[in-house]
Structure 1
Amino acid sequence: MPSRDFDKDVGKALSRVRRSRRMTQRLLGRYIGVAPQTVHKMEKGEIRISAGQLYLAAQALASPIKSFFPRQKALKQSPRLLSLQRLLSDFQQIRSPKLQEMVVLASRALANHSGATKNAAASAAAPHPPGRTHLRAPAAASRSARRSRPRAASPPAPRTR
């Protein structure tokens, strides 16, 4: 909702509440410290009403501030958002701080595992430079493997007669 529309909605609500209380724009203007013409412009959404003025208007009209704001329609929630809300609700029911910390650590571990799985899948799908294999053993392992490998027998020493 653009701010201009929001200002008009707040102004309409101010006008509605003011009229329901049978208060004039002049009297409301005195309460909030502005001229009656300014109250008229606020109600039309031509100028914004400040937070302080809205607070004073709510007191003068004996109305909660939330009555001046448009009601939000229930938003269609995605299944993922609903799952997140259930998770948060369940987490809040855990009374032990130690158990809560364990849940946080488990969540991080799962997230890291999920990220590692995605990274591994991405690197497996990525093209590799020609002539090189991506399944090469680390250099340290290669050296140790060379040391433990049995050596071929050296040629026999020449016999002398």
Structure 2
Amino acid sequence: MQRPQQPDIRLHPWTDEEGPALLALLNTPEMTEHLGGPETPEQLADRHRRYLGLGDRGRMFRITLDGETAGSIGYWETTWQGETVWETGWGVLPAFQGRGVAAGAARLIITEARAAGRHGALHAFPATDHGASNAVCRKAGFTLRGEALFEYPKGNWHPCGDWRYALTGG
């Protein structure tokens, strides 16, 4: 009996060439429902510049599944409850959803954040009513620490899950 082939999920560093087109694909009402809605072209251009300029404060990636662009994921510094930690977030295009892409990419981003050092934890803050993203956290091995109020975008507070993955012993 043959085992099913594991999907080939990979992360590719964010680039000036591919980034803007991917951001546009991810900027639909469906994809931004839990993020405050689609952004303007100016906001997308600013986001792209921020992604390219993260330096040692994080990294953004394009996700591929079997060589096809499937979405984005990254990690960046944030202050949470008085501690500087890595935060992560992702978006997987509709055609690739439900195939384990986000959870696989989240496991890969854990490895990237751990290799970057600097912080002992990686957090994700999906909206409490976003079942798919909360499931991604669970499948990737994050621990739910409870519910919290989180601000995103600026000025928009909403309930979220406080998911944490310990990158070091604590």
TM range (shorter): under 0.3
Alignment TM-score, normalising by the size of structure 2: 0.19
The TM-score with structure 1 as length reference comes to: 0.20
Q: Which has the higher strand share?
A: 2
